[in-house]
Amino acid sequence: MGRRKIREEELARGLNDRHIQLIAIGGAIGVGLFLGSAQAIQLAGPAILLAYAIGGMIMFFLMRALGELALYKPVAGSFSTYASEFIAPWVGFVTGWNYWIVWVVTGMAEITAVGVYVRYWFPEIPQWIPALGALLGVYIINIIAVKLFGEFEFWFAMIKVVTIIALIVIGLVIMFTGWGNGGQIVGFSNLWTHGGFVPHGVTGILLSLQMVMFSFLGMELIGVTAGEAKDPEITLPRAINATIWRILLFYIGALAVILSLYPWNIIDGNTSPFVLTFAKVGIPAAAGIINFVVLTAALSSCNSGVFSTGRMIYTLAVHGQAPQMFSRLSSRKVPVRGLTLSAVVMLIGVLLNYVIPEKAFIYITSVATFGALWTWGIIVYAHLNYRRKRGVQVEFKMPGYPYTNWITLLFMVMVAVLLGFNSETRIALIVGPIWILILIVSYQFVKKYHRDGSRPGS
């Protein structure tokens, strides 16, 4: 369509290598590892290690595709911009708004989670107070300067990294010294002596993949940081190439230690394996420690959500796909208006969580589930078309193109189909496509505004 692109202001490049590295690590480590891994273990047994290895390899290909696109054009709009240029303008519109709602909904859930985690220590405090405090805190952090966002993400990620390394070290000490094992058999033999390494067969591995993949939601955030990274041609490849070892250490390493300490079939799906491990060596505050870690993980996710949605709204406005008022930056080169919109909608989400039934909220979060797969698929397909149209523009190229592109796309389709085998996630296959259809119809109205010579929000 004949869309009018508004003059794009330059965002402040305030994120240095240290920030980018830890943002990438933080994006790879979420609450799902600390709390949700027990449920995944119940589905696949020790073969969950294989599931994370497969999922990690897919994410590596995805990140390499995104990295090549980001170095070709390091902009804050990232995959929305690439989708518009290399697939179609309507795909860029849908992808941008879809990613915005993914992070807004995720932010709603994480803000609510903050309230729950704080009440672990202070049960008399109404849940809405810490939830509101968390939202205001991350909003203020984001509107001041991008460097402050990067600094907080650095320390949030560092807390998670230290916790995982502590678990691995404690676990290895227990295995090799017998300290704190209480006379139980511990060791790597637990990985194959309780029904085998793959106790539930290939089916168990497949059913665990949906949980595994959504543990990685947030890794693509590094693409959004490209527009504000110092020396992106150096920092982005370094952070992306470290994807594999991060997954090997933080997921496979930590879970291998846990499964060596405890036979997989005695791990309660409702209890964090991290709490079990720290309690095993006599740390009385084990549950409190992990509660603090997941609290920081939730704050990190909310912080990233406000950051990424503000940038996505800004880019959509620059390309005439959102009201023009959101295309303006503050004196500190921060898209404050987009950040404010996202924070306000997240606040509404917190209120909704109290007034609508839980099932209705599950319908909303299912949009985020489906939206993540859409975003990842679009990144890989946009890269496929980028190579066809422009060839290799940068040295940091996707390995195995085009075969790895198609393998990754087919894998994403398989995970989407697997959503239908779980009663709690099946709704995503209904709500998700409806949401995409709503965005496609909305694009037709935006196109009509341009054709009539007006601009949305002007």
Which of 134, 318, 149, 302 is closest to 225 using CA atoms?
149
Q: How far is CA 152 from the centre of its chain?
A: 17
CB 352 within 8 A of CB 105: no
Question: Which contacts of 347-351 are long-range, i.e. CB under 8 A and separated by 24 or more positions?
Answer: 347/132, 347/135, 349/104, 349/105, 349/107, 349/108, 349/111, 349/112, 350/108, 350/111, 350/112, 350/128, 350/131, 350/132, 350/135
Separation CA 100–CA 445 (nearest Å): 19
Q: Is the pLDDT of residue 353 over 50?
A: yes
For the segment 22-49, the average pLDDT, to the nearest whole number, is: 80
- What is the per-residue pLDDT across 235-263, written as a single tens digit (0 to 9) for each? 889 888 887 787 778 889 999 998 988 88
What type of residue sits at position 143? I
The reply to whether the predicted model has a pTM over 0.85 is yes
Separation CA 37–CA 39 (nearest Å): 5
- What is the per-residue pLDDT across 27-37, written as a single tens digit (0 to 9) for each? 767 766 776 67
Which of 130-139, 347-356, 399-408, 436-445 has the lowest average pLDDT?
Answer: 347-356
Which of 412, 409, 387 is closest to 397 using CA atoms?
387
pLDDT of residue 233: 86
Separation CA 232–CA 252 (nearest Å): 29
pLDDT of residue 458: 37
What's the per-residue H, E or C state across the chain?
A: CCCCCCCCCCCCCCECHHHHHHHHHHHHCCHHHHHHHHHHHHHHHHHHHHHHHHHHHHHHHHHHHHHHHHHHCCCCCCHHHHHHHHCCHHHHHHHHHHHHHHHHHHHHHHHHHHHHHHHHHCCCCCCHHHHHHHHHHHHHHHHHCHHHHHHHHHHHHHHHHHHHHHHHHHHHHHHHHCCCCCCCCCCHHHHCCCCCCCCCHHHHHHHHHHHHHHHCCCCCHHHHHHHHECCHHHHHHHHHHCHHHHHHHHHHHHHHHHHHHCCHHHCCCCCCHHHHHHHHCCCCCHHHHHHHHHHHHHHHHHHHHHHHHHHHHHHHHHCCCCCHHHHCCCCCCCCHHHHHHHHHHHHHHHHHHHHCCHHHHHHHHHHHHHHHHHHHHHHHHHHHHHHHHHCCCCCCCCCCCCHHHHHHHHHHHHHHHHHHHCCCCCCHHHHHHHHHHHHHHHHHHHHHHHHCCCCCCC
pLDDT of residue 210: 84
Rounded to 5°, angle at Cα 229 from 63 and 60: 10
For the segment 360-379, the average pLDDT, to the nearest whole number, is: 80
- What is the per-residue pLDDT across 75-100, written as a single tens digit (0 to 9) for each? 877 889 999 999 999 999 999 999 99
pLDDT of residue 457: 42
Separation CA 447–CA 321 (nearest Å): 9
Which of 94, 77, 87, 105 is closest to 11 using CA atoms?
77
Q: Is the pLDDT of residue 453 over 60?
A: no
Domains, in order of start, for the chain = 17-447 (1.20.1740.10)
Q: Is the pLDDT of residue 364 over 50?
A: yes
Residues of the chain above pLDDT 90, percent: 32
Residue that wins the pLDDT comparison between 289 and 140: 140
Model confidence at 357, pLDDT cuts 50, 70, 90, reads low
For the segment 398-415, the average pLDDT, to the nearest whole number, is: 96
Query: Which pair of tokens denotes residue 75?
Result: 């902009």
227-242 in b/e form (b: 16+ CB < 10 A) is bbbeebeebbbebbeb
